């Protein structure tokens, strides 16, 4: 059978993620990997999850835990999130929260909600690869989000019209972004809001790394800034996407969207039609662990990752040639390196795997326009100090040969 003739046009946009394909090759034990973007499993609250699952069965909640449940999500978890959102300046109620299967699903749903083919999504150059992957299924065009006033709303609108659609939303990872590690500051957040107002579009605020700040002062979420301006979440255009993957555990696939009810209502219908609901038992387990341990557990993760970030920055300083620059992340999991013009991250990776046995992610895939060949992403959440020391030293050697 010739499948191509029955596939929808969107399938031509679905490509294998370079990162995930790469990760499959990294099983060899002698490779030092800065390529991942995953938490250190040594930091998972295993005892706490063990108790949570056990108590679901011991307490007679298992009929509920194993049964179908409502698309909106498990009520006590949504209520817990209402309180958490309140702490970061987002007063809301339970009907402003939808539980998703990780924040990746939130991005998929929001792409599905807004994008008709050839509509424009505004994204950073570079941006989270998984967001591009999720949105691509809905066949958008991309334009570069620049909110410093250098590009007018009219200019964006005209570009989008020329591409055959409308600007629908601006997407950005706000804190210690994947891949750059950079944070959008308070002033930029206001500028993004202003541009979105002028364009009358939604803002998708990806806050997956929000809790992983190691130093510097936290900035209010864009949604919090907007609520301050407008008085109520119901009048806000910002859709906040959160996740438990970086704080508790990714394997349970639990995240959330916090937004105006008029949007949540639509997303609930979408979830109903797409997978009915996220795993009931996992939502219950996440709730139990979050309720009793979130506040004490997250600082422990922060301590470990902070020291690894510090170690990586020190080693980069020690080993990198002067022509290589890198970000100074205040949190998250990544440092972003910019190599001299003309150097190619993918070629460097091939050479690195061959001669130094060090893996990382070439940065090009994070750029919606295919630029950024001279960038690479390093992960510091997974390797320990000794590995960072050895790996960055080897990488420095390679770089010095290459430049």
Query: Per CB under 8 A, which of residues 44..83 are in contact with a second copy?
Result: 44, 46, 49-50, 53-54, 57, 62-71
Q: Which is nearer to a second copy, 7 or 323 (CB)?
A: 7
Residues 118-137 that bind a second copy (CB under 8 A): 119, 130, 133-134, 136-137
> Could you tell me the sign of the dihedral formed by the alpha carbons of 176, 182, 186, 192, in that order?
negative
Q: CA-based angle 163:141:162, to the nearest 5?
A: 10
Does position 104 interact with a second copy (CB under 8 A)? The reply is yes
Shortest CB 106 distance to a second copy, Å? 9
Q: Which is nearer to a second copy, 234 or 390 (CB)?
A: 234
Q: Which is nearer to a second copy, 168 or 319 (CB)?
A: 168
What is the DSSP code string of 32-49?
A: EE-------GGGS-HHHH
Return d(Cα 364, Cα 277) in angstroms, integer: 35
Q: How many residues bind a second copy (CB under 8 A)?
A: 86
Q: How far is CA 249 from CA 111, 203, 255, 290, in A?
A: 25, 27, 11, 11
Residue 55 and residue 81 in contact, taking contact as beta carbons nearer than 8 Å: no
Residues 139-198 that bind a second copy (CB under 8 A): 166, 168-169
Does position 1 interact with a second copy (CB under 8 A)? The reply is yes
Distance of CA 29 to the CA centre of its chain: 28
Q: Which of 397, 20, 47, 92 is nearest to 248 (CA)?
A: 47
Residues 233-272 that bind a second copy (CB under 8 A): 235-237, 245, 249-253, 260, 262-263, 266, 269-270, 272
Q: Which is nearer to a second copy, 365 or 399 (CB)?
A: 365
Among 185, 275, 303, 347, binds a second copy (CB under 8 A): 275
Q: Which is nearer to a second copy, 11 or 158 (CB)?
A: 11
Shortest CB 150 distance to a second copy, Å? 24
Residues 11-30 that bind a second copy (CB under 8 A): 11, 14-17, 20, 24
User: 261 burial class (0-12, 13-18, 19+ CB within 10 angstroms)?
Assistant: middle
H helix or E strand, kind and range, residue 13: none
What's the residue count for the chain? 403
Shortest CB 270 distance to a second copy, Å? 6
The tally of CA atoms less than 13 A away on the side-chain side of residue 258 is: 31
Among 97, 201, 333, 353, binds a second copy (CB under 8 A): 201
Q: Which is nearer to a second copy, 85 or 264 (CB)?
A: 264
Residue tagged 């209520």 (tokens): 79
Q: How far is CA 105 from CA 6, 274, 280, 293, in A?
A: 26, 10, 16, 25
Residue 139 and residue 9 in contact, taking contact as beta carbons nearer than 8 Å: yes
Shortest CB 132 distance to a second copy, Å? 9
Residues 357-386 that bind a second copy (CB under 8 A): none
Residues 284-343 that bind a second copy (CB under 8 A): none
Does position 7 interact with a second copy (CB under 8 A)? The reply is yes
Shortest CB 353 distance to a second copy, Å? 21
Shortest CB 399 distance to a second copy, Å? 29
Shortest CB 310 distance to a second copy, Å? 25
Does position 138 interact with a second copy (CB under 8 A)? The reply is yes
Among 26, 89, 112, 118, binds a second copy (CB under 8 A): 112
Using the rule CB under 8 A, give the single segment among 113-121, 141-149, 319-327, 353-361 that binds a second copy.
113-121
Q: Which residues contact 103 (CB under 8 A, 6 or more apart)?
A: 206, 208, 241, 242, 243, 245, 255, 256
Residue 10 and residue 137 in contact, taking contact as beta carbons nearer than 8 Å: yes
Does position 8 interact with a second copy (CB under 8 A)? The reply is yes
Does position 9 interact with a second copy (CB under 8 A)? The reply is yes
Shortest CB 65 distance to a second copy, Å? 6
Tokens of 281: 């038992």
């Amino acid at each position: 059978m010739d499948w191509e003739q029955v596939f929808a046009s969107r399938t031509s946009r679905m490509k294998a993620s370079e990162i995930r394909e790469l990760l499959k090759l990294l099983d060899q034990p002698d490779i030092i990997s800065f390529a991942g973007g995953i938490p250190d499993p040594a930091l998972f609250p295993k005892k706490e999850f063990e108790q949570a699952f056990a108590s679901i069965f011991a307490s007679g909640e298992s009929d509920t835990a194993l049964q179908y449940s409502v698309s909106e999500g498990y009520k006590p978890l949504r209520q817990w999130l209402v309180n958490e959102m309140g702490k970061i300046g987002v007063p809301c109620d339970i009907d402003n929260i939808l539980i998703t299967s990780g924040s990746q699903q939130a991005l998929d749903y929001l792409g599905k909600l807004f994008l008709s083919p050839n509509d424009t999504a505004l994204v950073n150059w570079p941006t989270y690869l998984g967001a591009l992957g999720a949105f691509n299924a809905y066949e958008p065009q991309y334009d570069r989000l620049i909110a410093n006033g250098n590009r007018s709303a009219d200019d964006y609108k005209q570009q989008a019209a020329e591409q055959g659609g409308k600007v629908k939303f601006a997407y950005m990872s706000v804190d210690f972004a994947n891949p750059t590690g950079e944070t959008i500051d308070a002033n930029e957040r206001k500028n993004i809001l202003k541009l979105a107002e002028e364009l009358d579009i939604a803002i998708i605020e990806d806050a997956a790394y929000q809790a992983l700040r190691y130093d510097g002062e936290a900035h209010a979420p864009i949604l919090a800034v907007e609520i301050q301006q407008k008085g109520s979440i119901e009048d806000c255009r910002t859709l906040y996407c959160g996740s438990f993957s970086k704080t508790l555990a990714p394997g349970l696939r639990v995240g959330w969207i916090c937004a105006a009810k008029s949007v949540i209502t639509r997303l609930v219908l979408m979830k109903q039609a797409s997978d009915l609901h996220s795993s009931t038992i996992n939502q219950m387990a996440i709730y139990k662990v979050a309720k009793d341990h979130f506040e004490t557990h997250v600082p422990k993760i922060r301590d470990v990752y902070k020291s690894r970030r510090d170690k990586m920055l020190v080693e980069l300083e020690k080993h990198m040639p002067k022509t290589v620059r890198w970000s100074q992340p205040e949190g998250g999991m990544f440092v972003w390196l910019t190599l001299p013009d003309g150097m190619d991250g993918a070629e460097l990776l091939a050479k690195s795997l061959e001669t130094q046995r060090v893996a990382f992610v070439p940065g090009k895939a994070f750029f919606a326009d295919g630029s950024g060949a001279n960038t690479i992403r390093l992960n510091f959440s997974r390797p320990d100090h000794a590995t960072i020391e050895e790996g960055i030293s080897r990488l420095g050697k390679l770089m010095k040969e290459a430049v």
